[in-house]
Structure 1
Amino acid sequence: MAQTNIETNASAGRVLTITRVFGASPVLVFDAFSDPKRMLQWLGPRDYPASYVESDLRVGGKWRACLDSQASGEKLWHGGVYREIVPGKRLAFTFAWDQADGRSGLETLVSINFEGQNGKTLMTFQQSEFDTPEDCDGHREGWNSAFDRLEELLAQE
């Protein structure tokens, strides 16, 4: 089973850190985060899988995705801008949900490090800073469900 650690700091529970070990190389795990076709296979929680992903994978390039509720059909659009790309090692991008009025919501920064460990990958994922600890907890649940799906996808490859 994947190991998950949550870190809190002076931001009082508004910084999310998740670590996972995936049974694939850092190059394959990075590719799962950077290739829109592969992202469609795992992005989003089980009950809100992605139905759309586009990506201009370059620093300053934009990404956009839509998660669809399996129960209600609700669509959750979100996106951001790539800030750092080091293939197989690190990925950083902004993240914001679309609001009902079409504007972007709170922008957070997602930073992901991929470290090789004996043929596996230690992924350290951090997203910050949330408005409230409750928002942080909601993202923890969502990302962990998505990472469970990613773990299953990587195990098939």
Structure 2
Amino acid sequence: MFKRNKKTASKSSPTQGAQKGLHMTRIFKAPPELLFDIFTQGEHMPNWRGPRGCKTSVISQTLQPGGSILYTQETPNGGVMWGKFNYREIEAPHRFIYTNCFSDAEGNRIRAPFSKDWPLEILNTITFEPHEHGTKLILHGAPEEANKAERRVFEALMDNVRQGMNETFQLLDEYLERVQQKP
């Protein structure tokens, strides 16, 4: 596990061209500590991880640099996709860096079911900054070690990814509201 307010990180460096990619910023009405916990602790994931209508289940999680979370998403029509986050850096409650990929049931990285040229891994950096209305979340995601075809597909589908993340953030807003209303 990691210790709050103590940097626990492995060295990682974004690949060349990492400044390209998906950039999103959103303000959440929650303190950074709560938002960080909800974003990183697997027991919260089924309550907000989108898309809407999908059922997310966490299979396993080791929240530390070098650890991972393995999860499934079941669609309303019964289809199941597996995914995995591999944690690189965790600095609670300020930032975490991880790669995400599609996987099989054993956690082995596989190609996306929708495109043979979707990048095998996306490197994500999420930062949580105090804001007068709660927390400013900044997300940056870009293909890691991708070839030209994979970068092209990522760029071509970036609007779809952004739309999906916006829906996930809406679900997160709803979950945060429920969590903060509990006595």
Is TM > 0.5 for Structure 1 vs Structure 2? Answer: yes
Structure-2 separation of matches of 1:52 and 1:95: 14
Instruction: Indicate conservation of the 8 Å contact 1:18/1:125, yes or no.
Output: yes
In the alignment, structure 1 residue 148 sits paired with structure 2 residue 170: yes
Equivalent residue letter for 2:24? I
Q: Residue 117 of structure 2 aligns with which residue?
A: none
Instruction: Indicate conservation of the 8 Å contact 1:93/1:109, yes or no.
Output: yes
Q: Residue 96 of structure 2 aligns with which residue?
A: 91
* TM-score (norm. length: structure 1): 0.82
SS of the aligned residue for 2:165 comes to helix
Equivalent residue letter for 2:66? G
Instruction: Indicate conservation of the 8 Å contact 2:24/2:139, yes or no.
Output: yes
Q: Residue 69 of structure 1 aligns with which residue?
A: 75
Equivalent residue letter for 1:139? V
Deviations 1:77-132 (A, max 9, x none): 11031011001100110111127xx6423111011000001250000011112632
Instruction: Indicate conservation of the 8 Å contact 2:101/2:109, yes or no.
Output: no
Structure-1 separation of matches of 2:109 and 2:129: 36
Equivalent residue runs for 1:5-84 within 5 Å = 15-70=21-76, 72-84=77-89
Structure-2 separation of matches of 1:150 and 1:114: 14
In structure 2, relative to structure 1, the CA distance for the partners of 1:103 and 1:26 (3 Å cut) is: closer
Instruction: Indicate conservation of the 8 Å contact 1:42/1:149, yes or no.
Output: yes
Instruction: Indicate conservation of the 8 Å contact 1:42/1:49, yes or no.
Output: no
Equivalent residue letter for 1:115? E
Q: Residue 3 of structure 1 aligns with which residue?
A: none
Instruction: Indicate conservation of the 8 Å contact 1:37/1:53, yes or no.
Output: no
Equivalent residue letter for 2:136? L
Q: 1:112 aligns with which of 111, 114, 126?
A: 126
Structure-1 separation of matches of 2:138 and 2:25: 5
Higher Cα radius of gyration: 2
- Worse overlay, 132-141 or 36-45: 132-141
Q: What is the aligned residue count?
A: 144
Indicate the RMSD between aligned Cα atoms, in angstroms: 2.2
Structure-1 separation of matches of 2:173 and 2:34: 12
* TM-score (norm. length: structure 2): 0.71
SS of the aligned residue for 1:40 comes to helix
- Give the gaps of 5 or more residues in structure 1: 1-10
